[in-house]
Amino acid sequence: MSPGHFRPINEYPLEKCIAPGICLDLRHIMARAEIIPSDLATAVKAAGRPIPKGGTVLLCTGHHARTFPRKEYSTDNAGVNVAATEWLAKQGIVHFGIDSMRSGPDGDENLLVHKACFDLDITHIESLCNLEALLDHQFLV
């Protein structure tokens, strides 16, 4: 795969399609804030279980529950910054998901997070909802 090109779906490794998951409670993070590595580390500690290697981390910021379907849904989300994206990758994840329409905060940082995901070979899932139901549960994604 050459830089700047996406991998065709038929080349995506099947072992990444079903992965153990953890949902982190980040509902205390303010609107439009950058989620930083220490926020994630604190949330993992509060969850009482480690991030599963080869797994998925879901980030429950409460954004969807607070704002959908109002216009604030498209502008007021918190999101991971590049350092937090790199921190997640170092934990051995294959995916992370978030309950807003972008993985990073609104603006240039979001574009940098998308590039970091590509460079780090991790995927992200956006616009999730009802993540509150997954807090304190183990699951497969």
Q: What is the pLDDT of residues 122-132, one digit of tens each?
A: 999 999 999 99
pLDDT in tens, 58-89: 999 999 999 999 999 999 999 999 999 999 99
| pLDDT single digits (tens) 98-108 | 999 999 998 99
Residue 112 belongs to domain with CATH number = 3.50.30.50
Within a domain: 129: yes
Residue 42 lies in a domain: yes
Q: Which pLDDT value is given to residue 1?
A: 42
Taking the C-alpha atoms of residue 21 and residue 23, their distance in angstroms, rounded to an integer, is 7
- 98 lies in which domain range? 18-140
Q: pTM to 2 decimals?
A: 0.91
9 is a domain residue: no
3 falls within a domain: no
Q: What is the DSSP string of the chain?
A: --TT-PPPGGGS-GGGTS-EEEEEE-TTSPTTPEE-HHHHHHHHHHHTSPPPTT-EEEEE-SHHHHHTTSGGGGT---EE-HHHHHHHHHTT-SEEEESSS-SS-TTHHHHHHHHHHHHHT-EEE-S---GGGGTT--EE-
Tally of domains in the chain: 1
